[in-house]
């Protein structure tokens, strides 16, 4: 297994030499060298240097009018040395112009190109070198567009395969089909877990397994990908980003420019699929969800996802509505995969030992640290903290968890008192929420309107309604204190 050194080429699809010869406007004719089938060009370059080697990068169609050719070149070794230097520099083909210096292609040049297996093209007088260069770039642009279309379609089909009931085999089948080869998923111990496509020879399989071992992270500082060849078959191996030692291997008869991109997309999808089920975290979260749905109390489920005390975070992006990608990124930043995406708010359940910090582009409300059976009340705390943060234009508002004066009153008595005090408005959530927000924002109409996403006149009307139903003077600080105490325990 080896990967031979190749000259540097641009990140654009190469142009088949046959496509260039097929251009009727160029009227090029191959007169020496191997057949054009399978030969590709990466660019066109014009040079009249006797030794073009220092000026070539590899992959060129070198164009010359023979200005550099000595008069006595036909009887010496000039052309043999000239062609050998082009081949040594990695040149792909040679185009020789018939005007204005030469009427015919020198026979010695034809013989040298045959001897060194370099395709030789005869360029007629009416065809300019700049026209050939333009044709190369036109064909290259067409190939690039076709490759982009192929890559995009492959990405879409791989994503669709990942959503099937059998995602891993489906992704492998789609990958093998798109690359026209064989795909294999290797486990941490090197065994093949699943394969797709027409299986190659045993020699190729063994070589691919060896290449997979090169990128497996159990070997220490291993590369994330590696490539090679075996029995004229192109091989590639990709370490999946799960940290568990899974590897994707691909064997193809030919290597197209977009193959690496397509295989990399498959590797990302397989990383998500294998990581979710093999890391243990995904299985634990699924088990916790099932137990909750089947009636288990939160305190029995919490150990499955880690932590005895938790905080709830409500977050809202500053610029636009959140999407699934943004929600997952926020969860990762806060150190928790327990994320819920609502229409305009993202909720994250975070172990209390991971202190939520302000996040650029987000406004956050954080609850006090609570035990699992208090998750619903913490969710309410976080929602109120977020509303206050938005109203005060603060990046993060945290609900304090230190004891207060209301902790001196037994919970049952405080709740009974709250129900009695707030009974006239308790059946109307709009009034209680507005009163709570208004009191928390020190009676600011504008800030309350922002927090509740309503008009300031609506706030005034609701507060006036509360004052009338409660028969209370809301300008009295003692009344406000008593109502605030009651609202906290309602």
> Residue 408: which residues within 8 A CB-CB, separation 6 or more?
none
What DSSP line would sit under 428-456, residue for residue?
Answer: -HHHHHHHHHHHHTTT-HHHHHHHHTS-H
Q: Count helices and strands (H / E) in the chain.
A: 16, 17
- HSE, CB side, 13 Å, CA atoms: give it for residue 88: 11
What is residue 382's predicted lDDT score, i.e. its pLDDT? Answer: 92
Cβ-contact 161, 173 below 8 angstroms: yes
Q: Could you tell me the pLDDT band of residue 325, with boundaries at 50, 70 and 90?
A: low
For the ranges 3-7, 165-169, 235-239, the maximum mean pLDDT occurs at 235-239
Q: What pLDDT score was predicted for residue 7?
A: 44
* 59 and 136 Cβ atoms separated by less than 8 Å: no
Short-list 288, 437, 274, CA closest to 349:
288
Q: DSSP string of 380-425?
A: HHHHHHHHHHHHTT-SEEE---S--GGGGS-HHHHHHHHHHHHTTT
Task: Render pLDDT for 429-472 as a digit per residue (tens, 0 to 9).
Answer: 999 999 999 998 888 999 999 888 899 999 999 999 999 999 99
Residue 36 has pLDDT above 90, yes or no: yes
- What tens digit of pLDDT does each residue of 386-406 get? 988 888 889 999 886 444 555
Is the pLDDT assigned to residue 242 strictly greater than 70? no
3-state secondary structure of 109: helix
Say what the pLDDT of residue 3 is: 42
- pLDDT over 60 (residue 363): yes
User: What is the average pLDDT across 71-90?
Assistant: 87
- Give the position of tokens 């605030």: 484
Q: Across residues 319-343, what is the average pLDDT?
A: 77
Contact criterion met (CB below 8 Å) for 86 and 95: no
- What pLDDT sits at residue 301? 80
Note the CATH architecture for domain 15-139: 3-Layer(aba) Sandwich (3.40)
Residues 6+ apart with CB under 8 A from 42: 9, 10, 12, 14, 15, 58, 59, 60, 92
| Better-scored residue on pLDDT, 177 or 167 | 177
Whether 390 and 407 have beta carbons less than 8 Å apart is answered as no
pLDDT at 218: 58
Do residues 329 and 317 lie in contact, with contact meaning Cβ atoms separated by under 8 Å?
Answer: no
CA nearest to 90, candidates 53, 51, 124: 53
Three-state DSSP state, 170: helix
Contact 227, 215 (CB under 8 A): no
- CA 490/CA 414 separation, integer angstroms: 9
Q: Which residues contact 404 (CB under 8 A, 6 or more apart)?
A: none
Taking only the tens place, the pLDDT of each residue in 144-169 is 888 888 889 998 999 888 877 678 88
Whether the full predicted model's pTM is greater than 0.75, yes or no, is no
Phi and psi at residue 225, to the nearest 5°: -150, 160
Look at the alpha carbons of 239, 240, 243, 244 in this order and tell me if their dihedral is positive or negative: negative
Helix (H) or strand (E) holding 96: strand 93-97
The string of pLDDT tens digits covering residues 118-143 is 999 999 999 999 999 999 999 988 88
pLDDT at 135: 95
pLDDT for residue 360: 81
Assigned fold of 165-278: Beta-Lactamase (3.30.450)
Task: Tell me the pLDDT tens digit for each residue of 59-77.
Answer: 999 999 999 998 877 667 8
pLDDT for the residue numbered 278: 47
- Tell me what percent of the residues of the chain surpass a pLDDT of 70: 89
b/e code 447-458 from CB counts within 10 Å (16+ = b): bbbbbbebeeee
Mean pLDDT value of segment 93-97: 97
**pLDDT average, residue stretch 245-256:** 89
pLDDT at 406: 54
Question: Cα–Cα distance between 77 and 48 in angstroms, integer?
Answer: 18
The pLDDT value recorded for residue 9 is 47
pLDDT bracket for residue 342 (50, 70, 90): confident
For residue 335, is pLDDT > 50? Answer: yes
> Contact, 62 vs 91, CB < 8 A?
yes
pLDDT at 164: 73
Give the pLDDT score at 409: 59
């Amino acid at each position: 297994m080896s990967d031979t050194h190749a000259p540097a080429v641009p990140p654009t699809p190469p142009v088949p030499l046959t496509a260039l010869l097929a251009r009727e406007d160029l009227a090029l004719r191959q007169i020496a060298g191997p057949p054009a089938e399978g030969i590709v060009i990466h660019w066109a370059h014009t040079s009249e240097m006797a030794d073009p080697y220092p000026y070539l990068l590899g992959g060129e169609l070198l164009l010359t009018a023979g200005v550099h050719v000595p008069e006595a070149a036909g009887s010496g070794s000039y052309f043999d040395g000239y062609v050998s230097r082009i081949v040594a520099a990695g040149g792909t083909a040679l185009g020789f112009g018939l005007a204005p210096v030469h009427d015919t292609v020198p026979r010695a040049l034809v013989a040298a190109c045959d001897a060194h297996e370099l395709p030789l093209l005869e360029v007629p007088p009416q065809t300019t070198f700049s026209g050939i260069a333009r044709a190369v770039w036109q064909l290259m642009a067409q190939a690039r567009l076709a490759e982009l279309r192929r890559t995009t379609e492959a990405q879409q089909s791989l994503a669709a395969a990942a959503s099937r009931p059998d995602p891993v085999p489906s992704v492998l089948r789609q990958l093998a089909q798109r690359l026209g080869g064989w795909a294999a998923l290797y486990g941490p111990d090197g065994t093949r877990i699943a394969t797709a496509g027409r299986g190659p020879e045993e020699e190729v399989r063994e070589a691919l397994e060896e290449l997979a071992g090169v990128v497996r992270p159990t070997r220490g500082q291993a590369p994330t990908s590696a490539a090679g060849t075996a029995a004229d078959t192109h091989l590639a191996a990709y370490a999946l980003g799960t940290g568990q030692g899974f590897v994707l291997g691909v064997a193809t008869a030919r290597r197209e420019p977009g193959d690496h991109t397509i295989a990399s997309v498959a590797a990302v999808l397989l990383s998500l699929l294998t990581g979710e089920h093999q890391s243990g975290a995904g299985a634990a979260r699924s088990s916790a969800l099932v137990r909750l749905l089947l009636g288990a109390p939160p305190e029995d489920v919490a150990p499955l996802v880690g932590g005895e005390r938790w905080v709830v975070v409500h977050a809202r992006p500053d610029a636009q509505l959140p999407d699934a990608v943004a929600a997952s990124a926020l969860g990762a930043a806060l150190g928790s995969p327990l994320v819920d995406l609502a229409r305009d708010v993202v909720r994250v359940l975070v172990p209390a030992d991971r202190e939520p910090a302000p996040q650029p582009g987000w406004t956050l409300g954080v609850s006090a640290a609570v035990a699992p059976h208090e998750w619903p009340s913490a969710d309410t705390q976080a929602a109120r903290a977020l509303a206050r943060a938005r109203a005060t234009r603060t990046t993060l508002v945290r609900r304090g968890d230190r004891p207060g004066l209301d902790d001196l009153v037994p919970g049952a008595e405080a709740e009974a008192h709250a129900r009695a005090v707030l009974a006239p408005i308790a059946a109307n959530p709009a009034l209680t929420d507005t009163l709570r927000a208004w009191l928390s924002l020190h009676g600011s109409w504008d800030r309350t309107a922002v927090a509740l996403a309503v008009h300031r006149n609506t706030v005034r009307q609701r507060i006036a309604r509360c004052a009338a139903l409660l028969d209370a003077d809301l300008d009295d600080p003692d009344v406000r204190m008593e109502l605030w105490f009651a609202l906290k325990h309602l």
